Chains A and B, each alone.
Chain A
Amino acid sequence: MTIKTKKINGKELEEIKARNIKGNTLDGKVKKYKVTVHLGTCGIASGADEIKKQVEKEIKEKELKNIIFTTSGCVGFCSREPMLTIKEPDNKMITYYDLDEEKVSVIFKEHLIGGKIAESLNPINSSSELVSFYKYQVSRVLHNRGEINSFRIEDYIAKDGYKALIKALDKSPQEVIEIVKESGLRGRGGAGFPTGIKWEFCKNAKSKTSLKYVVCNGDEGDPGAFMDRNLLESDPHSILEGILIAAYAIGAKKGYIYVRAEYPLAIKTLENAIKQAKGYGLIGEDILDSGFSFDLSIFQGAGAFVCGEETALLKSIESKRGMPVPKPPFPANEGLYGLPTLINNVETFSNVAQIILKGANWFNSMGTDKSKGTKIFALTGAVNNVGLVEVPMGMTLREIIFKVGGGIKENKKFKAVQIGGPSGGCIPEEYLDTPIDYEKVQEVGAIMGSGGMIVLDEDTCMVDFARFFMDFIQDESCGQCVPCRIGTKRMLEILTRITEGNGEEGDIEKLEELGKMIKETSLCGLGKTAPNPVLSTIKYFRKDYEEHIETHKSCKALHRKAKIKKV
């Protein structure tokens, strides 16, 4: 890919947009179809690269001139990869899934050459059954998914990309912050801290050297979570634009995007996006002739869960061991190299451009009292439709699982839904009408977290399930503080012996005693939330524990296992 290197201004941005829309518009004759193969990490893992090659081969061999061929990131329906979408001149979209080379040939023969939808492949269109997966979702953060080629900045610009930046640069930093504050946007990295207020803290923080930093947290270490990876792969510029606006608002000149090295495609996409943005002068000196300058680099993390914790992440950028440090001081005051640092999650940044472009009221018209906008979840486990979903805040868990998720697989009974990953908790049937809302979710013993959502059916052993997370946490603890390092180990040992049928009387009480102590006294969020899966399962599923201890039976004997799969 050749990189344009011409510093542009606002007017030229409009021109690029116009040109690109023209080049992509289908007229039904010269350009009849737009074919997009969805090349996320999930898609590639299921063979999307072969599908892409096959499509290219077919176009070449059949000398088809009326097709615009492109690629994009994942469209979220991960259990149905590989997929491709055909756009018709009337903007109708038809998505084919579970593809193989044979099916591609059918699509070419019947649809792209024959002109008729290949009904035999049961594609997703408005009348399909699977459409419910999309129907209840709202595409705000994911509005570009499947629609743009994430390796082309022009595609993003054509979708009003970088317009928000122009708008922001016309305002004072404080005005930008006010809009974000008014929007009610809260951090999507887990804790839900009001984003605008964090920006304001950071803007007002005194820097020893006048330098400040912006850091984007793309560590995403939760087992089962892949929201941020998806965003990085499918719409990198929306993240860059959010970061740029934030940097302008707080007065930062340098930024880092922290991405785990296990996300090679995300890194490749991002590298390309940064290069292209630099090529247009959207990152660099005197951006869009505004006088605002900003430099951005990628930092590849070693992939430890604890490095997602903000203070550990900053240490890691400083080339030190990723170990959390006590707060205060908060990063907004003393962050990277001791200087004020704004750190937000990938999804948080992805929300920003649209808030600036469409206004705070557009954003906060959706959601609950205190949780506004939408939230992306990685829906996995025992549901029919596994994938990445964006739903409005306030939607109930039941709606997500049974409508978007299409209900429990194999018609089994629902047992619990786990949200918040290793820091979160399990919610039973009786609380399924809890709406997606930071506070409400916490009230029932879970946390919003970054967006992992695992649905469990009746066959799951909750002790084994809690053990799975404790095992994960015990491996990922940075090891510096006593409650987390030794406490979680002892909890794990107790859980293991229970699941193996060797539990003892008093073990549940020991788990509770340790759990409370670890929560109260650990240094960082990892330890402070680590007992949640155990404590919440003891609270709602104490029977599972007691049954093990009383019968001295192992999970195997009880035919129950934890079911977690990273997509």
Chain B
Amino acid sequence: MNKKAIKEEQITISINGIKINGSPGQTILEVALENDIFIPHLCYDPRINIQGACRLCLVEIEGFREAVPSCITKISQGLKIKTDTDHIRNLIKLNLELIVSDHPLDCLTCESCGNCELQDLAYLYDIDQNRFRGEVHPKKVFEDNPFIIRDNEKCILCGRCVRICDNLIGANAIGYAGRGFDCEIIPAFEQSLKDTDCIFCGNCISTCPVGALQAKPYLKKARAWETKKIQTTCPYCGVGCQINLHVKNNKIVNITSDVGKNINKGSLCVKGKFGLDFVHDSKRLTSPLKKRDGKFEKISWTNAMGSISSKLKEIIKNHGPDSIGILSSAKCTNEENFLLSRFARATIGTNNIDHCARLCHASTITGLIPTFGSGAMTNSFEDIKDSDAVIVIGSNTTEAHPVISYELINQVIEHNLKLIVIDPRKIPLTKYAYIHLQQKPGTDIAVLLGLMNVIYENDLHDTEYIDKRTENFENFINSFKEYSPEKVEQLSGVIKDDLIEAAKVYGSAKTASIFYSMGITQHTCGTENVISVANLAMMGGNVGKKGGGVNPLRGQNNVQGACDLGALPNVYSGYQYVEDNEIREKFEKEWGKKLPPKKGLTVTEMIDGALSGKIKVLYIMGENPMLSDPDILHVAQGLKNLDLLVVQDIFITETGEFADFILPSACFAEKNGTFTNTDRRIQRVNKALNPPGEAMEDWKIICRLSEKLGYNMGYSSVSEIMDEIAKVTPIYAGINYKRLNASPLQWPCTGKDHPGTDILHAKNFARGKGRFMPVEFSLPAENPDKKYPYILTTGRILYHFHTRTMTGKSEFLNLIAPMALAHINEEDGRDLNIKDGEKIRLETRRGKIEAVAKVDGNIKKGVVFIPFHFAESPANKLTNPVLDPKAKIPEYKACAVSISKV
């Protein structure tokens, strides 16, 4: 419900004689629940449309002859409602007796005991278990998959799981079968869930009111009342779902999320629900390691700190602080990123600090700063419901940001959202797209220019907005004029009529937003891509309003925070330039140290520096450039060339193998702090477990090392770090733990009473006026030729994350997705005589890898896709390290490749 609408129009009803206000469109049940008035309900889930199946939520309304289900009845002015009459109570009780008459009463052994809505209601209504006992649904279990057990004996057929799966997840993996009493819910065609389109998101479990659906990995681990439940933020993607860790004996025994609450409303993806077992993996590092004669051996923290600090001191003395490079981590907390930035700048004295955002979204910053003045997602997740149309370009949302794709799918299915997908692959979202524009990799700008051209030609651009809010439109027009649909079709392969229709949908929507991700940013023309997106959004008058905006989806859980908090070579926290004297002085005063005045090196430059000998030390906190950076052979040579490599991580990663010292750190579940998600939402990370062995929170490691280096940072808790962040960072100025513990805040939050900002550029652009910037279309740096005739593009898959440091350790995830699949088009497969499941070799100018072929019609002819997660098939052996000249982001998304059968 739109907050503004509530204020504008109020509906007053009375429930049991008490006057209550609600807003138009709300149901009686929603208003009652909001006001803590009890009405029983078993088929209601706030994430999806009502079904009205359980018939329990009955109320009496004055003037109505019969009882009315409150979940399907909208409120209207003056309704007089009673929830507690004898008649209603009797109906509800009889209904419950019927449900119970077909339910196995084995609460003693049921996994859901203590956490079962039916049990609670039976207790409350004092149900007679035997009055109507008759035929029952026999035991019927579906468990032939790693994650989900369905026992239809316990199913009360509330239909929630089916609606969740159909209307939110869009997987249609389960459905009703049979009629009458024999009606039941089964996996599609009664097969194993593995053979359906189930994506093992576990959201059916999250909605099941009884014990019919269970998470296999968490079975028989603990009774509901034995566990401690700690809410925290999921460590995987940038959505920032809130999860509950259920802990018993310092072990996570279950993972849930509160339905209807928080950004994810209780929905999770397979990684958040089932992929956190890495926390307890036996390979977790438990003590500092030092490499001696090519082998790691355990040493004490004191020794480790002593050796590392003296080595650092020596190198600083001999080669200066700028011979040291520091990589921060998008997986670590805001506080830790801030601290590492302070460590680099104040303790060491260099601005050579960067992190992997460079590899994903640097071009978002270089593209959005000159056009809008701020490089973050302009709008909020909640806005999706206010959009009439959404363009998703270069984002395989379903796999990389699953919970956002749920929202998109739900809006398409239940609320008529028009979705336009622009992607070289038939990504899962295309199933719900109104139009899919399938372009050749690297031709996004042509498509975007084409869209702008059609919008302009059809007079669908928002002239009033353009006049008032933006500048440079007149000069800009020429840049797209020659991109006729015909020409765009030639350049990109997008069918011209589809382009026209898509332009019309976007151009004529009342509010429309654009979501994009690495498909846009990871190109040599990444900055131009982003600028084009920004131009398009401004033409539609869509920036600065609810339901509109330009929304880059950030990949890692805290990539936004790592940028915000200054883990970048040119800015301190809050994007304050290190080269700005006034700002530098502010930080010097706060930190009591002279700070280096010139911006530092980027990740890729540091690697080059390592090769050339300019960089002697890399200090890496929670990153794995050995898999994530382009052309990894080159990276390996660089790492080998270093005098000192220190890696702080939870496992020995591919990068860690090269290290001189590895410091064991605590994972997300073992520390306090905050993450900032992709819609600028700062959320708490809460400690649920003690770290294994001697592993230590990253922030403590940094503090300790700094102290050893003679600079005491003087913090005793993460909350103090946040207070300092607030003090020196205007966009975080209003943030503190007290507020965050109550609810997350979105930056800019400029003061203690500032409510945070859900929509950027609302009145003015951050830079004043939005600036249209002409861009030129250019082909990717490397194009197919005789020797390398195909285009290679890379990306993520649902079941893994980044370099698999975490997901690779998850037993369950790897049952489903154990290896890299190279997706190739069926026609290409035929030409090359490659069949589904066969082993193939991919070769580029930089190297070759092997992978298993997945041959289908989902990818455009001439294009190959491989995920970058797998060390066994390291995609970045193949990718082209050419950089976007402004953002210095490598071109992961397009290079020339050859394919052959092994």
Contacts and interface: CB of A to CB of B under 8 A. Distances in A.
Nearest to B92: A521
8 contacts: A325-B52, A477-B180, A479-B180, A486-B132, A486-B181, A517-B94, A521-B91, A523-B52
A496 to B, nearest CB: 10
Nearest to A480: B53
B55 A523 contact: yes
Contacts of B156: 482
Interface size grouping (class) on chain B: 20 to 34
A326 B55 contact: no
Contacts of A487: 98
A227 to B, nearest CB: 24
A482 B95 contact: yes
Interface stretch (B65-73, B268-276, B535-543, B595-603): B65-73
A321 B176 CA distance: 8
Given A490-B132, A490-B134, A485 B183 contact: yes
Contacts of B326: none
A488 B183 CA distance: 13
A-B pairs with lowest CB-CB distance, top 9:
A479-B183, A489-B181, A486-B98, A326-B52, A326-B72, A480-B53, A493-B134, A477-B180, A521-B55
B82 to A, nearest CB: 15
B51 interface: yes
Nearest to A304: B179
Contacts of B50: 326
Contacts of A304: 179
B210 to A, nearest CB: 13
B121 interface: no
B54 interface: yes
B709 interface: no
Main secondary structure of the interface of B (DSSP, over half): loop
Interface string B802-818: 00000000000000000
B134 A480 contact: no
Contacts of B315: none
Given A483-B98, A517-B91, A474 B180 contact: yes
A474 B182 CA distance: 9
Given A326-B50, A521-B55, 17 more contacts: A321-B176, A326-B52, A473-B180, A476-B179, A478-B179, A479-B180, A481-B52, A481-B53, A482-B54, A489-B134, A489-B135, A489-B181, A490-B132, A513-B94, A514-B94, A520-B91, A521-B58
A517 B131 CA distance: 15
B876 to A, nearest CB: 44
Contacts of A483: 55, 95, 98
Interface string A189-231: 0000000000000000000100000000000000000000000
B66 A520 contact: yes
A323 interface: yes
Contacts of B416: 208, 338
B26 interface: no
B448 to A, nearest CB: 27
B157 A479 contact: yes
Interface of A: 208, 304, 306, 321, 323, 325-326, 338, 473-483, 485-490, 493, 510, 513-514, 517, 520-523
Contacts, number: 102
B56 interface: yes
Contacts of A510: 132
B230 interface: no
A211 B836 CA distance: 43
Contacts of B58: 521
Given A480-B51, A486-B102, A521-B58, A326 B69 contact: yes
Interface in B185-230: none
Interface in B94-111: 94-95, 98-99, 101-102
A490 B91 contact: no
B180 A489 contact: yes
B175 interface: yes
Interface string B58-91: 1000000011010010000000000000000001
Interface in B143-163: 156-157, 159
A477 B53 CA distance: 13
A517 B182 CA distance: 21
Contacts of A477: 179-181, 183
A321 B53 CA distance: 15
Contacts of B135: 489, 493
Contacts of A323: 176
A520 B67 contact: yes
A473 B183 CA distance: 13
A482 B56 contact: yes
Contacts of A517: 91, 94-95
A336 to B, nearest CB: 14
Interface string B167-183: 00000000110111111
Contacts of A338: 416
A325 B53 CA distance: 9
A122 to B, nearest CB: 46
A480 B101 contact: no
A485 B180 contact: yes
A513 B58 CA distance: 17
Contact of A479 (B54, B69, B178): B178
Given A490-B132, A521-B91, A479 B179 contact: yes
A520 B59 CA distance: 12
Nearest to A323: B176
Contacts of A479: 157, 176, 178-183
A387 B361 CA distance: 76
